[in-house]
């Protein structure tokens, strides 16, 4: 059953109806009736799709395909349904309806709806995911109250929150292959670049500072410009200079400023302001920290202002699982981005392999009734997550028929399915590495003619097959990744000359693992390898073929 765009649209519309503010955006505080209605909708649809549904003791909803054995390790896939007041119909919802649609498609996954992600109901975010992973306990949840004065435990009781069971009913990492959260970007970058989907490599960390600057208050009329120690003018210069520190993907905001005495005819003697600095890596956060301090100190020193900088919050950047990011971006040929906003995935990254997939937001608008993402983009995200989840595990591979097995492992060696066909006889494979070694052993044991045939089955880099779109799916994406699909006419001519010279000398095409090399490295390799003997080059070509196969194997098998 393919992903159904109309069905996803109707899910989004149905959840949009669950709001305290009809006509004025989605307002679904956690554990409110409107939130409960949205949970009920997902629960009913999941049951209809044949899933087994339960709430965990922290109040998160889980729906697991009925066909799964109780101990079968599966993908966790979902997001949240709670909103900020007058929020949009896509934040969180998108990740939940994608998981629901995949459940309907019979995929081996567990849908999850996390309680209280936004942090607007109980004044702290990601409560459901933090409680389920054991980062928050019942005592802490008891202290958090909503506007009606109810604690998280009281308000959540009718949605399955059970403090007595919380310590036992927790995430068991071995039960999951990983976590995939689809979410809207909530910023304009992807929309402006025309990128429907992007893989999130990291969730930004942040540092926040409180800066206090002291000068001297004095008469605005009698103090010459030269004699002033104006704290506000100093702060203004600092703010402009700090703005320049935020380069690349980092962002910096001075969001609050208190000026004293804040009088029309008095030179300000004291200013206090905040700095919020965010970056996708801890290295960038550290660099930013040094720069922020240097800029502030330099300006205050020059203006003879006293200074105090206090670090008020330090949150590390949270990288997503590098291998999953890589696999997902290659599978969907997607760009990689990072998230400036926090998500439940940040909580999971420390427990199970976690990856996020962003869907573009129209004009970057979010937390607003005008929030919008194209349902076609959402369906494409579902489709991609489906492909990712469908990748066979090793145990599934071990129980495949010969034909199925060759279908999965055949493409590891270009147009040479006989290798997988022979390796099948040696199953079961103990690990992906074991499978790889046994595939390579088949090649090693092959006749010299078979080895040559294997090398000759490889397409020329930037050759005619590439230009005529006749490459295998694997080869096409590998050549694209090495930057070989955007060459100038001159560069193409250089490749053609090298290819021709090489093939003439050795009688087979030049083989290189494009994914491990960039364009220039490949060009540099030609003259070096042309100097080899034919035997040496056969060995080099086979070594490159093994590297290619190893990467393809890692992509195709979801261990």
List of residues contacting Zn ion (CB under 5 A): 91-92
Residue 170 beta carbon to Zn ion: minimum distance, rounded to whole angstroms: 23
DSSP E strands in 24-145: the ranges are 51-55, 61-65, 74-80, 109-114
First to last CA, the chain: 24
**Which residue, 181 or 555, has its beta carbon nearer to Zn ion?**
181
Residue 176 beta carbon to Zn ion: minimum distance, rounded to whole angstroms: 21
Residue 8 beta carbon to Zn ion: minimum distance, rounded to whole angstroms: 17
Residue 343 beta carbon to Zn ion: minimum distance, rounded to whole angstroms: 6
**Which residue, 345 or 479, has its beta carbon nearer to Zn ion?**
345
Residue 367 beta carbon to Zn ion: minimum distance, rounded to whole angstroms: 9
Peptide bond into 277 cis (omega under 30): no
Reduce the DSSP state of residue 216 to 3 states and report it: coil
DSSP E strands in 138-196: the ranges are 176-184
C-alpha–C-alpha distance, residues 297 and 299, integer Å: 6
Ramachandran category for residue 414: left, alpha or beta (phi over 0 → left; psi -120 to 50 → alpha): beta
Residue 40 beta carbon to Zn ion: minimum distance, rounded to whole angstroms: 20
Give the torsion sign (CA, 62, 65, 71, 76): negative
Tokens at residue 461, please? 């880099």
**Which residue, 25 or 92, has its beta carbon nearer to Zn ion?**
92
DSSP E strands in 263-405: the ranges are 266-267, 270-279, 306-315, 318-319, 336-339, 354-359
Question: Strands 336-339, 197-203: parallel, antiparallel or unpaired by DSSP?
Answer: parallel
Give the number of C-alpha atoms closer than 13 A to the C-alpha of residue 275, restricted to the C-beta side.
31
**Which residue, 180 or 423, has its beta carbon nearer to Zn ion?**
180
Ramachandran category for residue 195: left, alpha or beta (phi over 0 → left; psi -120 to 50 → alpha): beta
Residue 82 beta carbon to Zn ion: minimum distance, rounded to whole angstroms: 9
**Which residue, 358 or 424, has its beta carbon nearer to Zn ion?**
358
**Which residue, 62 or 367, has its beta carbon nearer to Zn ion?**
367
DSSP element (H, E) containing 257 = strand 257-260
Residue 117 beta carbon to Zn ion: minimum distance, rounded to whole angstroms: 6
**Which residue, 92 or 463, has its beta carbon nearer to Zn ion?**
92
**Residues near 41 by Cβ (< 8 Å), separated by ≥ 6?**
11, 14, 15, 18
Peptide bond into 428 cis (omega under 30): yes
**Which residue, 88 or 196, has its beta carbon nearer to Zn ion?**
88
**Which residue, 362 or 550, has its beta carbon nearer to Zn ion?**
362
**Closest of 183, 179, 72 to residue 129, by C-alpha:** 179
**Closest of 381, 325, 392 to residue 99, by C-alpha:** 381
**Which residue, 214 or 343, has its beta carbon nearer to Zn ion?**
343
Residue 84 beta carbon to Zn ion: minimum distance, rounded to whole angstroms: 9
C-alpha–C-alpha distance, residues 534 and 537, integer Å: 5
Residue 79 beta carbon to Zn ion: minimum distance, rounded to whole angstroms: 6
């Amino acid at each position: 059953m393919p992903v159904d765009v109309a069905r996803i649209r109707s899910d989004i519309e149905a959840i949009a109806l669950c709001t305290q503010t009809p006509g004025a955006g989605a307002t679904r505080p956690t554990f409110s009736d409107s939130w409960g209605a949205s949970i009920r909708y997902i629960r009913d649809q999941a049951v209809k799709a044949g899933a087994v549904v339960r709430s965990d003791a922290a109040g998160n909803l889980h729906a697991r395909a009925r066909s799964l054995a109780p101990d079968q390790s599966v993908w966790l896939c979902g997001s949240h349904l709670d909103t900020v007041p007058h929020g949009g119909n896509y934040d969180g919802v998108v990740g939940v309806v994608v998981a629901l649609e995949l459940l309907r498609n019979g995929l081996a996954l567990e849908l999850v709806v996390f309680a209280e992600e936004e942090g607007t109901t109980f004044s702290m975010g990601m409560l459901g995911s933090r409680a389920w992973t054991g980062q928050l306990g019942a005592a802490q949840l008891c202290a958090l109250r909503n506007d009606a004065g109810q604690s998280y435990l009281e308000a959540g009781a009718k949605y399955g929150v059970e403090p007595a069971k919380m310590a036992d009913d927790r995430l068991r990492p071995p039960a999951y292959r990983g976590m995939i959260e689809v979410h809207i970007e909530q910023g304009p970058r992807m929309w402006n670049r025309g990128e429907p989907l992007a893989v999130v490599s990291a969730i930004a960390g942040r540092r926040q500072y409180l800066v206090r600057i002291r000068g001297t208050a004095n008469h605005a009329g009698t103090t010459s410009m030269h004699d002033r120690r104006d704290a506000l003018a100093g702060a203004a210069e600092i703010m402009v200079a700090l703005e320049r520190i935020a380069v690349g993907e980092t962002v910096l905001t001075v969001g609050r400023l208190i000026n004293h005495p804040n009088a029309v005819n008095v030179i300000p003697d004291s200013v206090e302001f905040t700095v919020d600095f965010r970056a996708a890596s801890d290295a960038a956060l550290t660099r930013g920290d040094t720069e922020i301090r240097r800029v502030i100190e330099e300006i205050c020193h020059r203006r003879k202002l006293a200074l105090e900088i206090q670090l008020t919050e330090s949150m590390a950047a949270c990288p997503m699982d590098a291998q999953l990011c890589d696999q997902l971006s290659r599978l969907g040929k997607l760009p990689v981005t990072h998230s400036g906003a926090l998500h439940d995935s940040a909580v999971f990254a420390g427990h199970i392999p976690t990856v996020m997939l962003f869907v573009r937001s129209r004009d970057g608008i979010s937390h607003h009734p005008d929030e919008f993402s194209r349902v076609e983009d959402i369906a494409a995200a579902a489709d991609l997550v489906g492909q990712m989840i469908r990748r066979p595990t090793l145990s599934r591979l071990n129980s495949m028929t010969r034909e199925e097995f060759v279908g999965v492992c055949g493409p590891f060696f270009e147009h040479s399915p006989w290798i997988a066909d022979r390796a099948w006889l040696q199953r079961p494979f103990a690990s992906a590495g074991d499978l790889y070694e046994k595939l390579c052993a088949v090649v090693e044991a092959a006749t010299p003619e078979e080895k040559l045939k294997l090398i000759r089955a490889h397409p020329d880099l930037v050759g005619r097959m590439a230009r005529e779109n006749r490459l295998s799916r694997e080869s096409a994406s590998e050549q694209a990744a090495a930057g070989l699909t955007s060459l100038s006419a001159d560069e193409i001519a250089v490749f053609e000359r090298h290819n021709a010279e090489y093939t003439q000398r050795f009688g087979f095409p030049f083989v290189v693992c494009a994914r491990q090399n960039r364009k220039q490295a490949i060009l540099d390799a030609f003259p070096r390898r042309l100097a080899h003997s034919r035997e040496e080059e056969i060995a080099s070509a086979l070594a490159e073929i093994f590297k290619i196969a190893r990467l393809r194997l890692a992509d195709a098998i979801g261990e």
